[in-house]
Amino acid sequence: MRQRLLWLLLLGLVVAILVLAAQHGAGTVGPLSTDEFGSLAYKLAILIFLGAALFTIFRGRFTEAIMGALLWAVIGLLLVIGYSYRYEVHQVADRVLAELMPGHVISHGRTAEVARTGAGDFAVSAQINGARVHMVVDTGASSVVLTPDDAKAAGLPLALLNYTVSIETANGRARAAPVTLDRVAMGELEERSVEALVVQPGQLRTSLLGMSFLNRLQSWQVSGDRLMLKGYP
């Protein structure tokens, strides 16, 4: 019975091709144009081929064939849904990473967002002259402040620095050297020629992202457990 049905479908396909050839000059086949009719015939041919292949592979195992087809249909549907909502999925992934990885910056163009850590501060993973530096946002610091190790990683010449500036740190009063950073970036939010200070060894445990960077921005604000930063267009 199934083989007879397959032969009938093949015969119908042959008839469709003959009709298409005969009506090619007329431009239409019934209510369809020749192009539309040809496209329909092509899709039917693909359907018949797939049906024949499934029949050959799963002969006597029709239930398995149906389950396999349904599985691939579900996979295809999930792929389509994932592609349709790819931007929303990306935003959700960013927020999950921000919660699991302190310092992860959610960046969208000239805006950035950072989640508060369990310690209550805003730790960020920034780029200083191309080097990745872990910092803490400190609105009480008038400038970006780097530890010697981070300054070295950023390519600053430590041997040539002059520690002429007196600053207050958590460990008390310290001396720092004024420098200018070529580039400070958080995600896609980037500023050039940023004034900063480098403290002497042992004076600071973590580099600080202070006001010499924050004042360059159009706005920044704390909203709940989020620090929102926005740069000028």
Q: Where are the domains of the chain?
A: 2-68, 103-230
**What architecture does CATH give domain 103-230?**
Beta Barrel (2.40)
147-184 b/e (C-beta count within 10 Å ≥ 16 → b)? bbebbebbebeeeebebeeebeeeeeebebbebebeeb
Report the half-sphere exposure of 17 (CA within 13 A, side-chain side). 9
pTM of the model: 0.58
Mean confidence (pLDDT) of the chain: 75
Note the pLDDT of residue 188: 84
Cα-to-chain-centroid distance, residue 72: 27
35-89 per-position pLDDT tens digit: 665 566 556 666 666 666 666 655 556 566 666 666 766 676 666 655 555 554 4
Map tokens 């207050």 to a residue: 168
| Spatial distance between the Cα atoms of 149 and 154, rounded to a whole number of angstroms | 9
The answer to whether 146 and 128 are in contact (CB under 8 A) is yes
- Which of 72-76, 90-94, 135-139, 195-199 shows the lowest per-residue confidence on average (mean pLDDT)? 90-94
173-227 per-position pLDDT tens digit: 889 999 999 999 988 899 999 999 999 998 888 999 999 999 999 999 988 888 8
159: confidence class by pLDDT, cuts 50, 70, 90:
very high
| Spatial distance between the Cα atoms of 208 and 139, rounded to a whole number of angstroms | 9
Q: Give the E-state strand segments of the chain in sequence order.
A: 28-29, 32-33, 106-108, 111-115, 123-128, 131-137, 144-146, 165-169, 172-186, 189-199, 207-209, 219-223, 226-230
168: confidence class by pLDDT, cuts 50, 70, 90:
confident
20: confidence class by pLDDT, cuts 50, 70, 90:
very low
